[in-house]
Amino acid sequence: MKFRFILTGSLALTATPALAQTGDPLTLDPLLITSPRAESDWLTLPLSVGTREVEDQPGEQLLSLDSLLAPIPGAVPQSRYNLAQGMRLSIRGFGARSSFGVRGVRVLVDGVPLTMPDGQTEMDGLDPSLVERIEVIRGPSSTIHGNAAGGVLSIETRQPGETPRHQVEVTGAELGYRRARAETSGSVGALGGLLAVSTTRLDGYRPQGTAELNNLTGKLRWEGEGGTLGATLHALDNRAEDPGALTLAQVRAGRSQARPQSLQFDSDEWIRQQRLSLVWDGRTADDDSYQLRSYYGRREFGNRLPVMANGQTAFDRWFAGVGAQRTFSREWAGLPNRLTLGLDLESQRDERSRHNNLVGGTTGALTQRQRESADSAGLFLENHLSLTDAWLLTTGLRYDRVRLRAKDRYLSDGDASGGETLDDWNYSLGLSRRLDPHHVVYARYATSFETPTINELANPSGGGFNPSLGPARATNRELGFKGERPGLRYEAVLYSMRIEDELVPVVLNGRTFYTNAGRSSRDGVELSAQWLIGPHWRLTGAWTYNDFRFDRFQDFDGNRIAGVPRQSLFGEVSYDRESWYARVNLSAHDEQYADNANASRVSGYAVGNARLGWRLLQGGQLWEPYVGIDNLFDRDYYDNLRINDNFGYYYEPAPGRTLYAGVRVEF
């Protein structure tokens, strides 16, 4: 299936002036961006950043954040239904290499990194039902957030309410999905608190696909004269089976089957994690602002892969970080100026072991034991200078140093201890020009730095780290146009990137390892718009076109980079009244490849979804029953692709039309 979206995307921009003139003017809420180090106005900021408010997308199942990210151009979420793999996310191609979780994208929750010090992110460290707002910076942002910031996903979650508020929610669906959650919050004087618990069960579309997720989140928030102190504790206890990927022949024989080896070796994973974060947002007497933040946690992990040799992995991880920043608002040479200076320090320690995985998932002989560590330090500055009322100049500079070490503690096959220290300077320069009260054009130049994660540094030859694997570096140039009128907001971006030593997965004997591609290029166009047609109607649209290729990489020169569709389109129509709401949307993706050789082409697809809900006030309680249909037109497509897996095991089929229903009660 081949999509031709260029005409559609072009019409979205050329039509916007006319659209803004229909009916009485409506007003979109002012859009302030917080994912840079200091709060900024979306319109004048020379940066590609998209936002989503959860209140604009009611009635979602929230099995992952994919439904919230779908309207963001340049962002491609995958793996909604395989909870053992977790949501995979690529932003302008960063993260497409990941075999599980998120790589190459920095993830923040309430300003605190969810991304580990080595650059790896597992989205299970978040309760999706608490998410209120998402910001996505598209493109290299290492000057703002350091290592692995090819893009930034900044998530804001619900804070304790000023008045008592309680919520209970129950959801059920096909595929054996059951979910229950409860939440309570309130404040006494300057102190507020929130407690949320949830449990989720999923039988899955395919055998060996069951999952059980348990989350607990507690928050305390204290408001003082000089600032706000927030404390968050999150704990999880998860277990998820992994049905594995199929070959194309197996898909044709039966889409709903599991990979035979996954059944044979009982593929799964289990996770227990606890994480505590503290954030102080302060104000000085001269109206400057500053922030102090810290986090500390422990993660226990074990899995079973569908292979015998080294098929079981377990680690016990301790991780921590501290950060500080201060923003000075002063005039410089008579011009308004805002300067932010800061420091980030992060560390993690893993006690890792590997065993053979015997038939039935029985633990076999020990094959590896080592202590792994990642320590990172970053210094940064970000400056916004208003040259005139129309011109804004932003600059950024950051130095990062990442130290990775492995201590071999399984010496029967020799000592493979080792490590390396990687560092880099990154910088950015942005300039925006206000054309009139409603329109801005901008240009931006930025670089990024990305080290391999500890998992990606695994040595194909045995213990220790892969000595041939180095960091990736990217340079991004982009031109953008933004518009904001009553009831209408739109954006167009043209970008071009060059990446040196891009990290690329290869699979050997059932395990994923990584290598560096010499040079690659990424060029693209992104269009997006949001329009309030009337007091109840809203239209949302986004279109992405990209051309991502290897310029110099083994025998793959000129080939398209796997795992990224050439074009993506999102469109949604929503109707929202006080008493009820309805939404229908369509997500479409062009063809893509599953391997570097471009021998396995995956056809494009389009998936429709529908949501319907009611708001009923009875006896002081707000009842919100809702229903949803995913894959409305029952299309065959793939929920996830395992890039470059060996023997053609690339494909994880998605289920057909799926119905869910739930009810939320607030009192």
Closest CA to 391 of 33, 38, 44: 44
- Indicate whether 9 pLDDT > 60: no
Q: Mean of the pLDDT values across residues 187-210? A: 96
Please tell me what DSSP assigns to residue 148: T
Bridge partners of 359?
none
pLDDT at site 27: 63
What pLDDT is attached to residue 244? 95
Q: What is the pLDDT of residue 491?
A: 97
pLDDT band, very low/low/confident/very high, at 46 (cuts 50, 70, 90): very high
Residue 510: predicted pLDDT:
67
325 token code pair: 């920043």
CB–CB of 148/422 below 8 Å? no
Cα separation, 564 vs 469, in Å, equals: 23
Q: 638-641 and 112-113: which strand pairing? A: unpaired
18 burial via Cβ count (<10 Å: 0-12, 13-18, 19+): exposed
Residue type, 389: D
With a cut of 90, say whether residue 144 has pLDDT above it: no
Q: What are phi and psi of 110, to 5 degrees?
A: 55, 40
pLDDT digits (tens, 9 = 90+) for 566-579: 999 999 999 999 99
Between 465 and 597, the higher pLDDT residue:
597
Q: Measured in Å, how far apart are the chain's first and last C-alpha atoms? A: 48
What residues have CB less than 8 Å from 14, skipping those under 6 apart?
none
Query: Which pLDDT tens digit goes with each residue over 267-279?
Result: 999 999 999 999 9
- State how far Cα 209 lies from the chain centre: 23
317/368 Cα distance (integer angstroms): 16
Q: If phi over 0 gives left and psi between -120 and 50 gives alpha, with beta otherwise, what is residue 477? A: beta
Q: H or E stretch including 145?
A: helix 142-145
Question: What is the model's pLDDT at position 415?
Answer: 84
Q: Which domains does the chain have, with CATH numbers?
A: 6-48+188-653 (2.40.170.20)
Q: Which residues pair with 472 in a beta bridge?
A: 450
Which tokens belong to 350?
């893993």
Residue 286 has pLDDT above 50, yes or no: yes
The CA radius of gyration of the chain, in Å to the nearest whole number, is 24
Is residue 230 predicted with pLDDT exceeding 80? yes
Please, which pLDDT band fits residue 214 given cuts at 50, 70 and 90? very high
CA angle 255, 260, 262 (to 5 degrees): 100
Q: Which of 487, 443, 435 is closest to 17 using CA atoms?
A: 487
Identify any residues that bridge with 394 across adjacent strands, giving them in sequence order.
384, 430
The DSSP 8-state label assigned to residue 10 in this structure reads H
Helix (H, G, I), strand (E, B) or coil at 252: helix
At 282, which amino acid appears? G
The stretch 117-126 carries a mean pLDDT of: 90
pLDDT, tens digit (0-9, with 9 covering 90-100), for 623-667: 999 999 999 999 999 999 999 988 899 999 999 999 999 999 999
Unique residue bearing structure tokens 């994480």: 275
Confidence class for position 28, pLDDT limits 50, 70, 90: low
- Give the Cβ contact number of residue 120 at 10 Å: 20
DSSP3 helix / strand / coil % (the chain, rounded to 5): 5, 60, 35
pLDDT band at 146 (very low <50, low <70, confident <90, very high): confident
For residue 17, what pLDDT is reported?
32
Give the pLDDT mean for 317-338. 94
User: Average of pLDDT values for 1-24?
Assistant: 37
Confidence of residue 1 (pLDDT cuts 50, 70, 90): very low
Give me the pLDDT at residue 23, please. 44
Q: How many CB atoms lie within 10 A of CB 359?
A: 10
Kindly state the percentage of the chain with pLDDT values over 90: 76
Mean pLDDT of 205-229: 96
Which pLDDT value is given to residue 25? 53
Is the pLDDT confidence value at 19 over 50? no
Q: How far is CA 403 from the centre of its chain?
A: 25
Mean per-residue pLDDT over the chain, rounded: 91
**Residues 160, 565: Cα–Cα separation, whole Å:** 40
Which token pair is 174? 């096909």
pLDDT, tens only, 580-626: 999 999 999 999 999 999 999 999 999 999 999 999 998 889 999 99
In DSSP notation, 530-575 reads: EEE-SSSEEEEEEEEEEEEEEEESTT-TTPBPTT--SEEEEEEEEE
- pLDDT for residue 5: 35
Per-residue pLDDT of 520-538, as tens digits, reads 999 999 999 999 998 899 9
